[in-house]
Amino acid sequence: MVDLGAGSSGKASRFVCPNDRQLALRAKLKTGWSVKTGSLASFSSAPTLNQPLGEDEHDAIVNVIQRAEKMDVTEQERVGKLVERLENMRRNALGRGPNQCLLCGDTFGILGPQKVRCVDCGRWACQRCAIDKLSSGKSPCSTKDHYLCMICAETREIWKKSGAWFFKSIPKYILPMDSRFKRNRSMRVSRRYRDDESSSDDERKVQPWIRQRRNSGTESTHEVPDQDSSNYSLTNNVRQASASNLQLSKELEPLRNYMGSMNLSTDPKSWDESTIAENRAGEANDGTETSRRESMASRSMSDWNWSDTKSSDEKLSPSTCSIKSSVEITEQKPVDTSMGIIELSLNYDQATNILHCTVYRAKNLIPMDIGGLSDPFCKLNILPNAKVSTRLRTKTVHKTRNPEFNENLTFYDITEEDLAKKALHVLVVDDDRYGHDYMGEVRIKLAKLRVQNTIYLTVPLENLRPEQKGPLPAPELNQWFDFDLWSRGQILISLCYSTKKRALLVTIKKCANLLPMDNNGFSDPFVKLQLKPDPYHRKHKTSVKWKNLNPIYNEEFAFETRPTELYMQSLYITVFDKDYGKSNDYLGGLILGGSGSKGQRLKHWLDMIRYPDHRHDQWHNLTEDVLE
Amino acid sequence: MMAGADPKWQKDAADQNFDYMFKLLIIGNSSVGKTSFLFRYADDSFTSAFVSTVGIDFKVKTVFRHDKRVKLQIWDTAGQERYRTITTAYYRGAMGFILMYDITNEESFNSVQDWVTQIKTYSWDNAQVILVGNKCDMEDDRVISFERGKQLAEQLGVEFFETSAKENMNVKAVFERLVDIICDKMSDSLDTDPNLMSGSGKGQRLTDAPQGPQTGNCNC
């Protein structure tokens, strides 16, 4: 929300009393004062000049802001549609290699289509799959380079249509699929309320929940539309739901059969029933991608449809009794797909004690970079008692929130005893030079494999890790998760954009677990700071803390800049060991910024821009990569 | 407030059937006629009663320009100083500015320079500006000649119009011209800057609006 600034419109911000920044700009413009202090009367004639906003004014403004937010959501959905269209186009591109058209896959040749090179991406397309820039635009190019492949043409269109050309990056958007997920979630909650209080007034019930979610302060990338529009979407849901009820009775049939046949009573606690339900539903629809998406939607509907059947217990046939138990568990832990879902299969070979794990894909992962994409990979381990030998990872799939891993990972020496006690831990992480960010995890109990050799799973990722609060990793999990990344130590930084000083204030608070570089087992660390790009090439340095691996600095530095510039700038933080007589040893580095960083580092940066005049403290890991 | 309950407005705002969306901002001293100007354009209505805008407001209008449907979200800001914190927050999202003064009010003309400073401080660098002298129907009370306005606009390197929201003179022309300028800017930015889309965010920044020749005719 916008800071209404009721209190801050004090004397300091008065128009006729500009600060240094404005004076500097004035000097640049080579103009003098245009407002004379003598004519101030016209400004201050309003008696309410410096009074805080009244109740009605406040309401009026909030009303406008809400209208604007509603529009923004519509706009984000529109951009989301455009982005999805482009993504589909990219995905459907058939061309492999330079002899084929990038899009349709036709082979070039004397008899085949003539090839042209796309100006933007430099790849080859046939003339049918490219457009002539000269005929559409007016810009005169050299004779050869005037073709755009359809994908690049579409990309340009998106840049125009979304306003990205102006803001230099694609704005926030909501993919059509996301909004469906969101709707399902709000629907489930409404149902829960109904169960609790048997009231039919869904609409009023959902609102407090939404409000509560907004106030909770968690940073969600896809904002829930404000209250009025949630009313609207809710009525939609209800309609949608009632329409799907008919369909559901059909869809549920195979599920019921499966649930009935399954032997849940053998080990009811060792297995999360909801996962099986998920898994089955996913399997049943193992068709094209779209149908799978449909299944996601219908599945979560089926979740709450069961809670309906609960109320009519007596109608249940004996064969579906097992559903009842699963219903209760599903209700306790409503499936939350906000972190995305992952599909994998497990196969255990008793003869060789080998566990094969195939990670197929993940979907709808949380975005990490400023373009709303991620570079995910999975880390797999058998817990508890993690060993380095049981630590496996998939390859990284770049620039996507729906990665296709299709990778087979093998764990050796897994005894049947292990199966009973242990769980497979799957952790999805964002790959980034400056730190791997957490994108969710899931634990899968292996006990089920004792009964069944192969299982397929489609499970939602959970967010079990709160934001990194301190420098010391929690013992068990982090030991293997971050072992290789945390070796350079951590740094606690406070960022604050001061609107008064028009400057970014960076406080280097402390470092922890730095590497010892000197013979005495310590280092003499100091921190260098630089904002890039910066026309003034300012650099700052903290003092040196002698013989200390956990130095406390609490030193503040100011970089004068504008909020709009900050989106393009990055803060380079490097920690060195002070040495006399030879060059300083590099201890670790970190980049925070709009263009250069991702995940927690990006979030920290954006929070600083979004909420100026507040201190944002956060720990970050230092990387061993040497920053230029 | 004013358009919240209007079904036509809602339809317009929720409509996703358009090609581009431009956000425009009208700024200028209090009572120069920003709200009247917007009402004339969006609703084709006019009232001479002065009601000070509370903070901010906006209207939505979809127009056809060069075979494209352009949805305009036009922000009307309060000229009063006490709302400055709110209004400046919206500068950053705006692609175009209509900087308005009142031709019958010397003070509002003298403030133009300060508004330009505000734009330069808070907006994106490539935002487009048009200078508008409003109330040109009140020829008898005129204190700022057309030439002075024109001269200042040249100095600032922006385009200039004299308008009347009351008599509906040039109102549409201002918006059309602003849309054209932004459209031109848009095709330029994509054609001349191929790095822009490569996503690194390191595309060259466009420099400040070109400054006209410094004639030395200071209007202080």
Judged by CB atoms closer than 8 Å, whether chains meet at A34 and B219 is answered as yes
B191, with CB counted inside 10 A (0-12, 13-18, 19+), is: middle
| pLDDT of A280 higher than 50 | no
CA dihedral A250, A253, A254, A258 (to 10 degrees): 160
Least confident of A38-52, A94-108, A339-353: A38-52
Q: Which residue has the tokens 């006690």?
A: A421
Judged by CB atoms closer than 8 Å, whether chains meet at B1 and A60 is answered as yes
State the Cα–Cα distance between residues A485 and B19, nearest whole angstrom: 46
A173, A304, B20, B64, B174 from B67: Cα distances, Å: 26, 48, 11, 6, 19
Q: Which one is predicted more confidently, B132 or A383?
A: B132
The 10 Å CB-count burial string (b at 16+, else e) for A348-386 is beeeeeebebbbbbbbbbbbbbbbbbbbbbbbbbbeeeb
* pLDDT value at residue A191: 41
Q: Which one is predicted more confidently, A304 or A565?
A: A565
* pLDDT value at residue A414: 81
B206 touches A568 (CB < 8 A): no
Q: Which of A322-326, A583-587, B100-104, B188-192 has the highest mean pLDDT?
A: B100-104
State the Cα–Cα distance between residues A100 and A237, nearest whole angstrom: 45
Q: Summarize the confidence of residues A489-518 as an average pLDDT.
A: 88
> Which residues of chain B neighbour A561 with C-beta distances below 8 Å?
none
* pLDDT value at residue A25: 61
Helices (H) and strands (E) in chain B, counts: 7, 6
* pLDDT value at residue B9: 53
B170: contact with A, CB 8 A cutoff:
no
| pLDDT of B153 higher than 60 | yes
B95: contact with A, CB 8 A cutoff:
yes
> Which residues of chain A neighbour B107 with C-beta distances below 8 Å?
39, 42
Per 3-state DSSP, chain B is made up of helix, strand and coil in percentages (nearest 5) of 40, 20, 40
Least confident of A151-160, A174-183, B16-25, B162-171: A174-183
| pLDDT of A16 higher than 60 | no
* pLDDT value at residue B179: 92
The one-letter amino acid at A124:
W
Least confident of A161-165, A240-244, B56-60: A240-244
What band does A544 get if pLDDT is binned at 50, 70 and 90? Answer: very high
> Which residues of chain B neighbour A605 with C-beta distances below 8 Å?
none
| pLDDT of A235 higher than 80 | no
CB within 8 A of A459, min separation 6: which ones? A275, A278, A279, A341, A342, A344, A442, A444
Scanning every residue of chain A, which has its alpha carbon at the shortest distance from the alpha carbon of B78? Answer: A61
Please work out, in degrees rounded to the nearest 5, the angle formed at the alpha carbon of residue A491 by the alpha carbons of A490 and A492: 130
Please work out, in degrees rounded to the nearest 5, the angle formed at the alpha carbon of residue A245 by the alpha carbons of A241 and A248: 120
Q: Which of residues 97-156 of B touch A (CB under 8 A)?
A: 107, 110-114, 116-117, 120-126
Optimal mutation site among A16, A21, A31, A561, interface B, most CBs of chain B within 10 A: A31
Q: Summarize the confidence of residues A578-595 as an average pLDDT.
A: 82
Scanning every residue of chain B, which has its alpha carbon at the shortest distance from the alpha carbon of A163? Answer: B21
CA atoms within 13 A on the CB side of B188: 8
The one-letter amino acid at A575:
V
Angstroms from A357 CA to nearest CA on chain B: 35
Optimal mutation site among B54, B155, B206, interface A, most CBs of chain A within 10 A: B54
> Which residues of chain B neighbour A567 with C-beta distances below 8 Å?
201
Could you report the per-residue pLDDT of B164-195, keeping only the tens digit for each? 988 888 898 999 999 999 988 888 877 766 55
Could you report the per-residue pLDDT of A171-226, keeping only the tens digit for each? 788 877 654 444 444 444 444 444 444 434 444 444 444 444 444 433 433 434 44
* pLDDT value at residue A551: 92
> Which residues of chain A neighbour B194 with C-beta distances below 8 Å?
119-120
Q: Which residue has the tokens 């209208």?
A: A67
Q: Summarize the confidence of residues A325-338 as an average pLDDT.
A: 50
Q: Summarize the confidence of residues B59-83 as an average pLDDT.
A: 88
State the Cα–Cα distance between residues A147 and A137, nearest whole angstrom: 11
> Which residues of chain B neighbour A63 with C-beta distances below 8 Å?
1, 4
* pLDDT value at residue B10: 52
pTM: 0.44
* Percent of chain A with pLDDT strictly greater than 70: 57
A265 touches A273 (CB < 8 A): no
* pLDDT value at residue A387: 64
B204: contact with A, CB 8 A cutoff:
no
Q: Summarize the confidence of residues B107-121 as an average pLDDT.
A: 89
Cβ count within 10 A of residue A141 = 13
CA A610, distance to chain mean position in Å, is 17
* Mean pLDDT estimate for chain A: 67
Q: Which residues pair with A573 in a beta bridge?
A: A529, A590
DSSP state of B188: H
| pLDDT of A495 higher than 80 | yes
Could you report the per-residue pLDDT of A603-623, keeping only the tens digit for each? 888 888 888 888 998 888 887
Q: Summarize the confidence of residues A108-120 as an average pLDDT.
A: 72
Which residue of A32, A51, A155 is in closest CB contact with B197?
Answer: A155
Angstroms from A598 CA to nearest CA on chain B: 12
Compute chain B's Rg from CA coordinates. Answer: 17
The overall longest dimension of chain A from CA atoms, in Å, is 95
Q: At what angle do helices A202-215 and A176-197 cross, to 10 degrees?
A: 120
* Percent of chain B with pLDDT strictly greater than 70: 80
Optimal mutation site among B25, B197, B214, interface A, most CBs of chain A within 10 A: B197
Angstroms from A151 CA to nearest CA on chain B: 13
Scanning every residue of chain B, which has its alpha carbon at the shortest distance from the alpha carbon of A567? Answer: B201
* pLDDT value at residue A79: 87
* Mean pLDDT estimate for chain B: 80
* pLDDT value at residue A245: 43
What band does A310 get if pLDDT is binned at 50, 70 and 90? Answer: very low
> Which residues of chain A neighbour B210 with C-beta distances below 8 Å?
none
